[in-house]
Structure 1
């Protein structure tokens, strides 16, 4: 049985930046980072290689592996406390922003300095949005692009490789706490590891696993929300005046019909729509690139409706999964519908799609989203599209494409203290896996934060 000082479970944004900070500070600790996914170089979605539909790889290369779900994303880092998580509630607003600015400095030093830093703070868009009952959230946005993001992560891995041991294609099946206070981990390969400090950095795809471990160890959790919606794709010219100005516009709208909140999420100018596999369920997402040669003629973004539940129902993620399963059952994966067909109450057939002026960037099954998404959420989404049409005319065109479903799963919020440590001494929960953060910037910042705490505990190599 190998013994380590620190074991990090999960090589996503929080795990990567924690390992970077521990390596930079040259801590005396012996460290192992474990992930169930692949090495960075091996992360290739079969769809990118020519497969027509999601093959449901296990584990999913989009979601798992070095860098986590952020690796093959469009590499957007939002420096803000207005959205993206609640890290500021644990470390303070100033500290949270300081940590996110530090993450940005690291990214720039590793090859991200050429990426433009956008800001929504003084944008005319904010005024225009308010005049139309829409609310633009403030943030600084560094867009790296999927291509540049992968290169930067490769440099971070190389920087850490001499100091941090990593193991991929490995699943932790059990975690026990010994009488001596050490954690004992058992893998799917039957191997056992011991450590003094254990860090759960499993990300959203590890939500069920982290909840199970917390239940097993008696750690309190608070059920979080789930966001249900669609991925919108339309000609890039429609949103060009917005994306050229602020790139990532987080716009919130309160619907008249239900008084529910709908928001835009993950805007990808000149990007492509992609499928991703979370726990065997195929949902939809979006990417964009820094290299102009890789850009498309379309822009895509999500429209999401937040759902919170009261007693007796407790499992919000299961609710989201059930809707996604229905989409998978009807469409064999992702469903696609023209907005004009949706509002007219008819399915988008292959024949209707042939006449569509907007060319889809993801091969999906033409169908009827009203058979999948509950009426309340769908009514909210339709109302939001008409609201966006006021500031970006053309959003409500008949040939605007809607892919479904997009689901944002949130881990149950794990009970942690100001150091992101649980009630079990030496057990930390950080990043999106803790339910504390919901973004690349805040997840990475949480990794830096705990990395510094443990570096101070173990001291520097002489």
Structure 2
């Protein structure tokens, strides 16, 4: 039996959830279906972490798939700025994007996000940090950040699901979408892997970063135009929390940009987690690294990513494949994620268990394999990472220490960017795309805002 809906949303990450929230608030009685290939949030359990073992390569990975998306078990940072977190401003304009970010921020507060916002006070200290950054050839972006924290973030997302279900939204988890139905260049619905057909007047594709490859296949099937986004590849850095405390106390997550001296590549810090832990992620069979900062359980370390962004020239069209290739080298050499001390990397030797046991920074990811990251990264990426750490050391002495730990690979599987209208509609009428998987956002705030933007256009048409 074919089921008919008004709107189908593919993906239950922040873009999909906020699209649904906006729709139910705007008009009662809409028939809405959310389809998610991962599990319900209460069933999203990482078996490897539960057993303190290496990644089991579960399909789908509960860390990055399921209700809430990859952000459900992240440290839940809302970056309340138009300058970072994606390219949504290209579609909305900066003023409208700022309004959208303020709007979704209020929604997170309504569902239980904490009141505290980092980066709003300490004006003199911020100016001094910016001055020191300039002298170190770094650009410091002072942004407001609301930190929810792992644990609290999942509670907020659970409340959002309960709110939607109570208002008649159907949620179908553990369900993979096989095909998007289109007739005469108008969206018609979806077909699941089990062959079930669901029809709808409008479809929103919001599969998240982990679903970027799936969305690319859909785009190819439908003949949708795409442009290549930069590839972001790097390491997760871990060091004693005291090294970054003077920065994290003010900013929580400090956003720094650097252009390498050797190759002029853009290098940036990303996803800083004060007193956090390094964790594994399974990206469709590839084991990569990420970081969390819990709302309640703290460690003695701080971790953050250092990512090198590269734009490629034609005929290159496969940013996801390139990122997967680099990640696969670490998996091949280390059976998963590789860990190496900065001292060993600079000395040109692989790290061993014995040498890491003498390291003053105790790793929070016990499953990582001691090894040599220089066998994984292209030379220009490695140079960019090392140069960035040297520059960081000038504003945070202790970063460029022999005891600093590097985990690889961290890669952001940003999709090639779909050709979209200003309301995020594809070249197919009534087919919208939103969030990280569509290649237009890079984080919770802008992904949530993208869902709202698509939903508002649908509401106008209804």
Pick the TM interval, shorter chain.
over 0.9
User: Does 2:96 correspond to 1:95?
Assistant: yes
Contact 1:178 1:184 in 2 (8 A): no
Q: CA deviation at 1:192?
A: 1.0
Q: CA deviation at 1:138?
A: 3.3
Q: CA deviation at 1:51?
A: 3.2
Contact 1:200 1:427 in 2 (8 A): yes
- Distance change (3 Å), C-alpha of 1:350 and 1:212: same
SS, match of residue 41 in structure 1: helix
Contact 1:283 1:324 in 2 (8 A): yes
| TM-score, normalised with respect to structure 1 | 0.96
Unaligned segments of structure 1, at least 5 residues: none
- Distance change (3 Å), C-alpha of 1:121 and 1:88: farther
User: Does 2:386 correspond to 1:385?
Assistant: no
Q: CA deviation at 1:29?
A: 2.2
Task: Find the aligned partners of 1:368 and 1:379 in 2 and give their Cα distance.
Answer: 15
Aligned partner (choices 334, 340, 345) of residue 343 of structure 2: 340
User: Does 2:397 correspond to 1:400?
Assistant: no
* Structure 1 counterpart of 2:376: 372
User: Does 2:306 correspond to 1:312?
Assistant: no
* Structure 2 counterpart of 1:220: 225
Aligned partner (choices 208, 215, 224) of residue 213 of structure 2: 208
Contact 1:79 1:141 in 2 (8 A): yes
Contact 1:225 1:409 in 2 (8 A): no
Contact 2:342 2:402 in 1 (8 A): yes
Q: CA deviation at 1:117?
A: 3.7
* Structure 2 counterpart of 1:66: 67
User: Does 2:444 correspond to 1:440?
Assistant: yes
What does residue range 268-279 of structure 1 map to in structure 2 within 5 Å?
268-279=273-284
The alignment covers a number of residue pairs equal to 456
What does residue range 39-438 of structure 1 map to in structure 2 within 5 Å?
39-119=40-120, 122=123, 123=126, 124-163=128-167, 164-178=169-183, 181=186, 183-291=188-296, 294-363=297-366, 364-438=368-442
Contact 2:7 2:200 in 1 (8 A): yes
| TM-score, normalised with respect to structure 2 | 0.96
Q: CA deviation at 1:121?
A: 9.5
- Distance change (3 Å), C-alpha of 1:388 and 1:296: same
Q: CA deviation at 1:108?
A: 1.0
Q: CA deviation at 1:260?
A: 1.5
Q: CA deviation at 1:434?
A: 1.4
- Distance change (3 Å), C-alpha of 1:360 and 1:452: same
Unaligned segments of structure 2, at least 5 residues: none
Q: CA deviation at 1:166?
A: 0.5
Contact 1:68 1:203 in 2 (8 A): yes
Task: Find the aligned partners of 1:350 and 1:327 in 2 and give their Cα distance.
Answer: 17
SS, match of residue 454 in structure 1: helix
